[in-house]
Amino acid sequence: MNGKLKILVVDDEPDALELFKDLFTKKGYTVECVPSGTDAISFIEGNEADAILLDIRMPVMDGIETLSKLKELKPDIPVVMLTAYGYDDNLINKALESGAAGYISKNLPLAQIVHTFQTLLSAIHRKK
Amino acid sequence: MKRCTKCSIDYSELWNICLLCKLPLAKDNLITKVFSKPRSGANYIFPILEKTIDQSDVIFLYLDKDLKPMMCNRAIESITGYRREEIFKNNWLNLFFRSNPSRREIFKAVLNSCLNSIKSRAYEGSIIKKDGTECILSWRNTTVTDASGNIWGILCIAEDMTEYKDSVDNVTTCSERLRDIFANVKEYAVLTANLDHKITYYGIGAKELFKWQEDMTLKDISMLFVDSPEENLKEAIKKSVRSNNRFEQEAILKRANGGVFPAILTVNVLFDNDNRRSGYVYIIRDNSEEKRMAKQMVQNEKLAAMGQLSAGVAHEINNPLLVILGRLDMLAMEDEKLSPETERTLETIKNQAQRMRVIIDRLLLYSRKKAPQMEVLNINEVLKTIAPLVAYHPEFKKITWKEDLQEDTAEIKGEFNQLQEVFLNLALNACHAMPEGGALSISSSNTKDGYVEISVTDTGMGISKENINKLFVPFFTTKDNGTGLGLAICHTIIQSHHGTIGVESNLGKGTVFRVKLPINKKE
């Protein structure tokens, strides 16, 4: 089932982006990567995705703003926020209010990141 | 002898202008040349002199050798209320001193002394007016003699001083009141000193500030000073008051018990009624509390700035670190078998990177802007959880744990977890300070100024003076593997609870951390 899913990863840090690409590819996903909120919006206008992993803190257009625009364009695509800060409650709350499906701390070990992501997605699919 | 050049009236040396012609009088040497027939001026001069005297508001009373009035002016009527005839007919001394014979005798003695010694004598005292009220007269009594020194009588001139006396009385009451105020000021030490800077007077403020038990009057003011070799404060004060009439400076002063404290010292010159320097007034205010607050503020600002910096650094390091740790995880997921040496290397890299992660987590915790989730709680509930948590640590085995939690400790507002972290941190630090064992006591009580005070006391090695000021600064540590963030975090948490944290330490004897948290005000 994983092989069929296409995910979009949005992060301004190129090495982090590449890491997630390798990780999720290894776990059987089709992975598309973009380095900014603006790029994420252009991508989603012309392409489909089954899920989006979105960094919460980015320069120019931040995660929350990108999230709102993505939700306007494709409200059905689940967006999971990536947070680097365990204590950024305010940003996380804002993201959840703006329609994020959930959030994952980048500080977790990779195995846990993948596991949390999969758990979140299957919960969403079960609801559907 | 002088003479008027127009009417030829003779005048004595006292006169300058002719009373009739209003012309300047000619001098002696001119008289013989110009005039042949001098005229007596008495007939003309007396009426004018009489009028002048009669209209004066000062009493003119001319007495013969038996102290009987020969002449008196109208002022005696207006001042005493007696008519002139009454004074002439009766014994005027009995009238004026009618209820006070002893005072009358004194006054008589003054007048007689005048006659005997042919000298003026002053007297000041009250007489009884006709209406029964008193009035104060200031007398100037002068013997009048002829050219050969034979006594004619006494000229008594008296001025009514009643109103002036009243105002002097007011001034006296006023200055007494000022002295009362001065004596009771507690916030300042107010002292006066004479021109030699010896204490002449001081109020309760000075007594309390300097903890004086004995009388300090006439002690040299310099006993209050702690002079550094390069500055002699007394000399500096003398120099400044000489040129500027005033001195103001921050100075270190000494109490009777030897304790010293910083103070603002102001010295002003006291001037007497004739505008001559009569002494100095010293006003001293203890400013140790202000200094402490200022120091605390600087410290807080410094810590806040470090908090911001730490947060920035932590965020910046976090991203590369997550890539490093992530890549290491990816390597572990590879199926390819790595050589044991490479695996060991990778393990070391991972351990070190994870250590960085711990530091960053602590930094983020230290710099977090998240406000505590305040709930009303009793700090004793938090403190009771500390012992079981510390008990897991090996250091705890050699420690005697004491808890003195007052049952009536008031409720505060705070976040349980954050406060628990503070006291756990303090307790662990205390354990680390006693590697050979000792006593650790935690106590709580209410303070008079609306706080709950919690103290964590150990009997450990203590903290040196140079280290004690850096305790709450992030990354300051004396432990081999400490991050130096524990106390910095405690400080941040207590501050976000509107409380204070302070420390006192005796090298080799132990340390006490005191946390004060405001008592919850019931609405």
If one compares B299 and B262, the residue with the highest pLDDT of the two is B262
If one compares B447 and A3, the residue with the highest pLDDT of the two is B447
Report the residue from A13, A22, A107 with minimal CB separation from B330: A22
- Whose CA is closest to A56, among A90, A24, A23, A22? A90
Q: Return the percent helix, strand and coil in chain B, to nearest 5.
A: 40, 30, 30
pLDDT value at A54 more than 50: yes
Indicate whether A128 belongs to any domain. no
CB distance B330–A89 less than 8 Å?
Answer: no
Q: The dihedral of CA B12, B17, B18, B19: what is its sign?
A: negative
User: What are the phi and psi torsion angles at A67 (to 5°)?
Assistant: -55, -50
CATH 1.20.81 correct for B304-367: no
User: What are the phi and psi torsion angles at A82 (to 5°)?
Assistant: -105, 125
Report the residue from B318, B327, B357 with minimal CB separation from A19: B327
Q: Give the span between the Cα atoms of B333 and A27, in whole angstroms.
A: 11
pLDDT value at B33 more than 70: no
- Give the DSSP H or E segment for A10: strand A6-10
> B185-286 and B304-367 share one CATH topology?
no
* Contact yes or no for B137/B165 (Cβ under 8 A): no
B402 min Cα distance to partner chain A (Å): 35
CB distance A26–B357 less than 8 Å?
Answer: no
CB distance A89–B370 less than 8 Å?
Answer: yes
Q: What is the pLDDT of residue B443?
A: 95
* Domain of residue A39, residue span: 2-123
- Here the CATH number for the domain that contains residue A102 is 3.40.50.2300
Residue B329 sits at the chain A interface (C-beta within 8 Å): yes
pLDDT above 70 covers what percent of chain B? 95
* Contact yes or no for A102/A95 (Cβ under 8 A): no
pLDDT value at A2 more than 50: no
Count of beta carbons in the 10 Å neighbourhood of residue A127: 6
The helices-and-strands tally (H runs, E runs) of chain A is 5, 5
pLDDT value at B371 more than 70: no
Q: Give the span between the Cα atoms of A36 and A8, in whole angstroms.
A: 12
Tokens found for residue B388: 């079981």
CATH homologous superfamily of domain B185-286?
Answer: PAS domain (3.30.450.20)
When pLDDT is cut at 50, 70 and 90, the band that residue B523 belongs to is: low
Q: Where are the domains of chain B?
A: 1-54, 56-173, 185-286, 304-367, 375-518
Q: What is the pLDDT of residue B124?
A: 87
> What pLDDT, in 10s, does the model give residues B464-503?
888 888 888 877 887 776 777 788 889 888 988 999 999 9
Report the residue from B315, B333, B357 with minimal CB separation from A26: B333
Q: Could you say which of 3.30.450.20, 3.20.20.540, 3.40.50.2300, 3.90.470.20 is the CATH number of the domain covering B56-173?
A: 3.30.450.20
**Which pTM value belongs to this model?**
0.47
Contact partners, residue B322, CB within 8 Å, separation at least 6: A16, A84, A106, A107
How do beta strands A79-83 and A51-55 pair?
A: parallel
Compare all CA atoms of chain B with the CA of A13 and give the residue at the minimum distance: B319
CA angle B205, B210, B211 (to 5 degrees): 95
Indicate whether A47 belongs to any domain. yes
Average pLDDT, chain B: 85
Helix (H, G, I), strand (E, B) or coil at B377: strand
When pLDDT is cut at 50, 70 and 90, the band that residue B233 belongs to is: confident
A112 min Cα distance to partner chain B (Å): 11
pLDDT value at B370 more than 60: no
CATH 3.30.565.10 correct for B375-518: yes
> What pLDDT, in 10s, does the model give residues B121-177?
888 888 999 998 988 999 999 988 888 888 888 999 999 988 887 777 777 777 777
Contact partners, residue A119, CB within 8 Å, separation at least 6: none
Q: How big is chain A by its Cα radius of gyration, in Å?
A: 13
CB distance B361–A86 less than 8 Å?
Answer: yes
A103 min Cα distance to partner chain B (Å): 16
Residue B368 sits at the chain A interface (C-beta within 8 Å): yes
Q: What is the pLDDT of residue B28?
A: 62
Indicate whether A7 belongs to any domain. yes
**Total count of domains within chain A:** 1
Compare all CA atoms of chain A with the CA of B312 and give the residue at the minimum distance: A85
Q: Give the span between the Cα atoms of B130 and A120, in whole angstroms.
A: 115
Chain B residues with CB under 8 Å of A16 CB are 319, 322-323, 326
Q: Give the span between the Cα atoms of B233 and B370, in whole angstroms.
A: 51
Indicate whether A30 belongs to any domain. yes
Between the two ends of chain A, the Cα-to-Cα distance in Å is: 16
